[in-house]
Amino acid sequence: MLRLAHEAILSVLDQREMPPCEPSSHLSELRGAFTTLHLVQRLRGCVGYPNAIVPLYRTVIETARAAAFDDPRFAPLTLVEAPEVKVSLSVLSPLKPILADEVEVGRHGLVVSLNGYRGLLLPQVPVEHGWNRVTFLEQTCRKAGLPTNAWREGEGAIIEAFTAEVFRDEDPER
């Protein structure tokens, strides 16, 4: 999957078609996923599909390209940067409603929704930042553009959780 993500990015930069993909049964499953790019240990793009809308191999291709070229927080990835970019793929379980006190830092990713606003943070985010459960819930609300207490019972927000299987580039040679 990591090779597929890199190939998807390079095919855009090289202005060529992707080679044909014969997906395994696992890669043919409908799965949500996020592609996160890092360059020199700094975030360089992150885009994903929280819901399973296309087969996993298509999700990887589409989110890798979107993270590289369409994340509005960053300029499009360049050919010079491409060899150094590190890819992390988070393959998501289906979203399930969860109570705030059931959220487990390091296990769950979160989606908080209210009045058309929606924020999502992957399970690894609170671990990377050293957040506790309350801070994780508050930061997910903040990402949604909601008051940080919107997750509290009686405030009306819907909290959903998911788990993620994470695959990362570890070796600079790939």
Q: Inform me whether the pLDDT recorded for 170 exceeds 80.
A: no
Could you tell me if 31 and 75 lie in one domain? yes
168 assigned to some structural domain: no
What burial letters (b/e) apply to 142-162, b meaning 16+ CB within 10 Å?
A: bbbebeeebbeeeeebebbbb
- Domain count for the chain: 2
Paired residues of 46 in beta bridges: 36
pLDDT-derived band at 174, boundaries 50, 70, 90: very low
Predicted TM-score (pTM) of the model is 0.88
171 assigned to some structural domain: no
Report, as an integer, the average pLDDT of 80-93. Answer: 96
Domain with 53 in it = 2-92
Minimum mean pLDDT among 41-45, 77-81, 153-157: which range? 153-157
3-state secondary structure of 66: helix
Predicted local distance difference test score (pLDDT) of residue 144: 96
Could you tell me if 122 and 65 lie in one domain? no
Predicted local distance difference test score (pLDDT) of residue 21: 80
3-state secondary structure of 82: helix
